[in-house]
């Protein structure tokens, strides 16, 4: 049986800083379009989006509430289903990382342009789909590629994805509310994001060199903080379809809690929060939805950046707490029992903290526990779990939205 070994090669501190910075920026850019589309969901579905106003929509038929005719769950489905597809097939297709990054960048730029210049809703949906394909392909590609670097790049990547949430949601809400820019002009400004991604991958990262010998085959040269040593044999690389399918079975302890957490939080975000509306306060309905998104992304950013300070090994506790959140939000939509919007902000912040903690702790634990020869494929496959949870949440959000709006 052919085997290969990783060689222990010290990495200069300057290289570490560049790689950590590069993965942080890649995480930021990879999820930015995805976040922007969800932050703009209420506007995209509103009747005045194509007129650049971004103003409040009119209530849907047969409803006494301020509801869009479609739930923002429809935007969520367009923003997640293509990503679910690409995450399902990408780990089994042998395309170089560099080519995948070019596709990610092209799709990201196309997403902003399509939504910005859309005059009909279906065109905006194509832009959202492009954002989904970009984010999905980028995540499965870069998490897999991270297996060739020091384990701390996982923390940097996760922090960057959390940063995309808070900076994306905050930039959209701030530009439309405080700078009074239209949704269209705001989206056009975001076209600098794919440029930053190109710079991060091609000019910031120090890409690992590959050692090729007759005895070892192809293997990355890891740094001194790698969990592998120069005497550890990694066994046969996981290459065949059958071996990959067998490997999926051992990933359930990581995948299931992640899927459950993401189902609950996205059902809250895209199925319920747009139905929580406090009248006659300092911000209107559209602005409340945008700032709920900012608040949620703040929680995600904090927890995704905290794994080196606080690690959660019992992953199962996170879906339990997130489903408790879901129950509270369902009761609030039905009964309006919360007396202040600030209580909603606190609950949404807690929801974001749980979601971010589930993400970063899952991949950090995988990076420590899964054998090196299985790690690259595992890091490419498990992102499918959170995407599947989000897709199910989006599908359920549609009828739930109509049920509450028609009451």
Q: With respect to residue 62, please indicate whether it lies within any of the assigned structural domains.
A: no
pLDDT at residue 52 greater than cutoff 70? no
Structure confidence at residue 4 (pLDDT): 35
For residue 336, the tally of other CB atoms under 10 A from its CB is 11
Residue 63 belongs to some domain of the structure: no
Average pLDDT of the chain, as a whole number: 81
pLDDT at 227 over 50: no
4 located within any domain: no
What's the pLDDT score for residue 42? 62
> Using one digit for the tens of pLDDT, what is the confidence trace for 333-351?
999 899 999 999 999 999 9
- pLDDT tens digits for 131-175? 999 999 999 999 999 988 988 899 999 999 989 988 988 888 889
Q: Is the pLDDT of residue 320 over 80?
A: yes
Q: Is residue 78 part of a domain?
A: yes
Q: Rounded CA gap, 274 and 67, in Å?
A: 8
Q: How far apart are CA 181 and CA 213, in angstroms?
A: 58
Whether 56 is in a domain gets the answer no
Q: Which of 95-110 are b and which e, b meaning 16 or more Cβ less than 10 Å from the residue's Cβ?
A: eeeeebbebbbebbbb
pLDDT score recorded for residue 46: 63
* pTM of this structure: 0.74
**Domain-located, residue 38:** yes
pLDDT score for 216: 36
Element containing residue 123 per DSSP (H, E): helix 121-145
The average pLDDT across 113-121 equals 87
Strand partners for 217: 213
Taking the C-alpha atoms of residue 108 and residue 34, their distance in angstroms, rounded to an integer, is 9
Residue 218 lies in a domain: no
Q: Return d(Cα 385, Cα 368) in angstroms, integer.
A: 19
pLDDT recorded at residue 104: 97
Confidence of residue 236 (pLDDT cuts 50, 70, 90): very low
User: Within a 13 Å sphere around the CA of 56, how many CA atoms are in the beta-carbon half?
Assistant: 15
In a domain, 54, yes or no: no
pLDDT of residue 59: 45
User: What CATH number is attached to the domain comprising 271?
Assistant: 1.20.1250.20
> Is residue 148 a contact partner of residue 209, using CB atoms and an 8 Å limit?
no
User: Which pair of tokens denotes residue 372?
Assistant: 């090196």
Give yes or no for residue 234 having a pLDDT over 50.
no
Give the domain extent around 39: 13-49+70-208+239-406
Number of folded domains that form the chain: 1
Crossing angle of helices 341-369/285-304, nearest 10°? 30
Q: CA 58 to CA 69: how far, in whole Å?
A: 9
């Amino acid at each position: 049986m052919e085997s290969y070994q990783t060689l222990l090669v010290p990495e200069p501190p300057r290289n570490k800083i560049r790689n950590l910075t590069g993965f942080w920026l890649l995480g930021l850019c990879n999820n930015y379009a995805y976040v922007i589309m969800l932050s703009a969901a209420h506007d995209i579905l509103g009747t005045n989006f194509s007129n650049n106003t971004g103003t409040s929509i009119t209530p849907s038929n047969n409803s006494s509430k301020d509801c869009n005719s479609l739930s923002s769950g429809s935007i969520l489905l367009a923003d997640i289903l293509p990503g679910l597809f690409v995450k399902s097939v990408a780990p089994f297709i042998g395309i170089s990382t560099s080519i995948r990054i070019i596709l990610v960048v092209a799709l990201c730029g196309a997403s902003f342009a399509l939504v910005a210049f859309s005059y009909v809703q279906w065109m905006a949906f194509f832009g959202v789909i492009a954002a989904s394909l970009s984010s999905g392909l980028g995540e499965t590609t870069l998490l897999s590629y991270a297996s060739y670097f020091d384990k701390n790049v996982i923390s940097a990547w996760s922090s960057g994805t959390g940063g995309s949430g808070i900076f994306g949601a905050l930039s959209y809400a701030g530009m439309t509310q405080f700078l009074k820019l239209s949704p269209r002009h705001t989206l056009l400004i975001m076209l600098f994001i794919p440029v930053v991604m190109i710079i991060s991958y091609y000019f910031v990262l120090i890409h690992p060199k590959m050692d090729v010998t007759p005895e070892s085959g192809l293997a990355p040269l890891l740094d001194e903080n790698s969990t592998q040593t120069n005497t550890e044999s990694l066994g046969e690389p996981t290459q065949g379809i059958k071996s990959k399918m067998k490997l999926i079975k051992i990933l359930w302890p990581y995948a299931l809690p992640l899927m459950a957490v993401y189902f609950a939080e996205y059902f809250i975000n895209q199925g319920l929060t747009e139905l929580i509306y406090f009248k006659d306060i300092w911000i209107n309905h559209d602005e409340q939805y945008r700032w709920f998104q900012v608040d949620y992304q703040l929680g995600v950013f904090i927890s995704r950046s905290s794994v080196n300070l606080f690690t959660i090994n019992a992953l199962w506790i996170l879906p339990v707490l997130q489903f408790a959140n879901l129950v509270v939000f369902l009761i609030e939509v039905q009964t309006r029992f919360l007396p202040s919007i600030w209580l909603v902000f606190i609950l949404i912040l807690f929801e974001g903290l749980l979601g971010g903690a589930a993400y970063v702790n899952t991949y950090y634990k995988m990076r420590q526990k899964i054998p090196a020869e299985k790690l690259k494929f595992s890091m490419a496959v498990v992102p499918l779990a959170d995407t599947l949870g989000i897709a199910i949440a989006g599908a359920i959000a549609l009828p739930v939205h109509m049920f509450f709006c028609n009451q």
